[in-house]
Structure 1
Amino acid sequence: MTTEIAPVADAVRRRVLEHTLRNNGGYLSQACSAADILATLYLRVMRLGPSTAPLIPRAFAGVPGRDNPHAFTGADYNGPRAPDLDRFIFSPVHYALVLYALLIELGRLGADALERFNTDGSTVELIGAEHSPGHEVTAGSLGQALSQAGGIALARRLRGESGRVWVFMSDGEFQEGQTWEAFAALAHHRIGNLGVYIDANAQQCDGPMTEVMTIEPLAERLRAFGAEVHEVDGHDGDALAAPALARWDAHPLAPLAVIARTDPCRGIELLRERAPKLHYLRFKTPAEQDAYEDLLEHWQDSAR
């Protein structure tokens, strides 16, 4: 499998742009900011086995419960559960389209999987849930995923498993008290087999985070809560991977937090015309959609 991050990340952005054009809407800025982070996690950081899930996404089988033996999660797209393999917890579930696109690029999900996107009975949901491809838990903006990941990591340590737990988060989740409670608990219990990658694109649904509610200085605050913190260029695969790779053969006693500083318009400069509201793209005029169509056509020609 290739370990080159940039080509995969660019392919994810193209696929999300194509989907956004086809559906007159999509979380495009999240693909711009997060594609390199997610590609680095899958290609360089996480120790995952091959997908054990079908390329054609399964239909929704109902919520988990002892009376529903058919329920499942989307974690099997990340490979089998094994003591020496890692687990991945995807927190900002409105980024689901970006994750689906990456799974397709990596051959873990079928190329036509997005045809089932956000349709009745499909697990390829607009806002991912525990049954969606690549997802293991139901999460969201209140930061519950980090707490769930902490519990999983603690259980793995108690069982003597060598596999780590990795969490992908958005910086907007650090406006929530639940996130800080979770980090306090991780530090108290010395959960060193857990790492968090943060897409710090400085944007949220209501505009720039500095205007809505700042979370800075994020690195200093996380260190004060007991985390080992690294700030990196979120579009540099080597820089993204380095903090995690340094811990593979170590036995740390603190959670890892990698703050990936990213550009929400990376690779799609046309998006800057939408600033400062970048959270969700829906075309306002036919002329605007034509401009994005031209961009995609040019991008595809250059890729050939």
Structure 2
Amino acid sequence: MLNSKTTDEVALGIRRRVFEHSILNNGGYMSQACSAAEQIAWLYNEELKLGQPTLPMIPKPFGGVPSASNPDYHTGAGYNGPAAPQFDRLFIAPAHYALVAYAALIEVGRMAPEGLDMFNKDGSSVEMIGAEHSPGMEVHNGTLGIGLSTAAGLAWGRKRRGEPGRVWVFMSDGEVQEGQTWEAVQAAAYHGIDNLYAIMDVNAQQCDGAMSSVMEVGDIRAKLELFGARAIDIDGHDLDAMRQAVAEPHDGRPLIVLAHTSPFRGMSFLERRFPRLHYVRFKSEQERVEMNTEIARELGVEPVVYGEH
């Protein structure tokens, strides 16, 4: 174990770091931290069986794409430890949750805080939209909807080799609007890939606004079950519900936990921005000041000190 924090403390730390980063940088993926902090914290702090990190605490610069002439190329998966048979593997399917994932790595002691200072900087591997070389990432999931397919393929191979390690996917509910997601569920069920696990942040939000205003998706759990998965609805801010859900029997089927969440959790000021929550950029300096003051109070920290940008 790399830290002695409780999972609740890790989740709060994730929100605080994302909030601070967003105030300093005149915007950020704040709502994703509101909805997903408990899920990412639970995965890293409790559920995943991971080895010690194999990459430096302060991320290296972008080292180029994989090729025969680039033998030192590596993915960011080293922050999750070695890809040994006994360890779990994690895929962050919605790559725009990268800021939340980086904050989680810092909170659990897998990346140095300085890593977040490199976010979205030229030449940095700490990408705004997580890429395969970004901390904690193993593949590029920027095309929303491919994460579950990628994980299913790896899980199928691990199962055939008899490896005990599981394959986990963190997903968003917007991915159920993508046909490839349903193909992955159906294939995983058909091939009995029950070492495939997913937790989906069901916050009813997506890039263009509320899910219901873009494409209504209906009863996700019922559909997943019809496609062959074992799906469970829970309160996505309830850690005990996550612990109970992962223990559900699902022989021969992938297990998908539908974590229903609030996109304002811990930062209720954001409700005033509904339904435009995908990336929060301040409309005015006055709003930035108000948000800094009110959210800091809610998160139990001092307002962020920042200069002119």
Interval containing the TM-score (normalised by the shorter chain): over 0.9
**The one of 7, 13, 21 aligned to 1:19:** 21
**The one of 120, 125, 135 aligned to 2:127:** 125
Counterpart residue number, 1:170 = 172
Q: Distance in 2 between matches of 1:262 and 1:20?
A: 21
Aligned partner of 1:32: which letter?
C
CA contact (8 A) 1:193 1:252 kept: no
SS at match of 1:183: helix
Counterpart residue number, 1:4 = 6
Q: Kindly report structure 1 stretches of 4+ aligned residues shifted beyond 4 Å.
A: none
Counterpart residue number, 2:278 = 279
Counterpart residue number, 1:263 = 262
Aligned length: 299
Deviation at 1:296, TM superposition (A): 4.8
What runs of 5+ residues in structure 1 fail to find an aligned partner? none
Counterpart residue number, 2:306 = none
Deviation at 1:204, TM superposition (A): 0.7
CA RMSD across the alignment: 1.5
1:90-117 C-alpha deviation (Å, 9 max, x unpaired): 1000010000001011110001111111
Counterpart residue number, 1:288 = 287
> Is 1:243–2:226 an aligned residue pair?
no
Deviation at 1:141, TM superposition (A): 4.2
CA contact (8 A) 1:74 1:132 kept: yes
CA contact (8 A) 2:269 2:295 kept: no
Deviation at 1:128, TM superposition (A): 0.4
> Is 1:300–2:304 an aligned residue pair?
no
Deviation at 1:216, TM superposition (A): 1.6
Counterpart residue number, 1:155 = 157
Q: For the structure 1 residues 276 and 84, does the alpha-carbon distance in structure 2 shift closer, same or farther, using more than 3 Å as the test? A: same
Q: Distance in 2 between matches of 1:252 and 1:76?
A: 30
Deviation at 1:139, TM superposition (A): 0.5
Where in structure 2 are the equivalents of 1:1-304 lying within 5 Å?
1-2=3-4, 4-246=6-248, 252-298=251-297, 299-301=300-302
Q: Distance in 1 between matches of 2:202 and 2:164?
A: 29
Aligned partner of 2:226: which letter?
A
Aligned partner of 1:157: which letter?
K
SS at match of 1:139: coil
1:101-154 C-alpha deviation (Å, 9 max, x unpaired): 010111100011111111111000000000000001111343112111111101
CA contact (8 A) 1:186 1:254 kept: yes
Q: For the structure 1 residues 208 and 46, does the alpha-carbon distance in structure 2 shift closer, same or farther, using more than 3 Å as the test? A: same
CA contact (8 A) 2:91 2:138 kept: yes
TM-score of the two chains, using structure 2 as the length reference: 0.93
Aligned partner of 2:214: which letter?
V
Deviation at 1:291, TM superposition (A): 0.8
Q: Distance in 2 between matches of 1:241 and 1:72?
A: 33
Q: Distance in 2 between matches of 1:20 and 1:225?
A: 39
CA contact (8 A) 1:141 1:173 kept: no
Q: Distance in 1 between matches of 2:80 and 2:51?
A: 7
Deviation at 1:270, TM superposition (A): 0.4
CA contact (8 A) 1:50 1:80 kept: yes
SS at match of 1:230: strand
Q: Distance in 2 between matches of 1:200 and 1:176?
A: 15
Deviation at 1:246, TM superposition (A): 4.6
The sequence identity of aligned pairs, in percent, is 52
Q: Distance in 1 between matches of 2:122 and 2:7?
A: 34
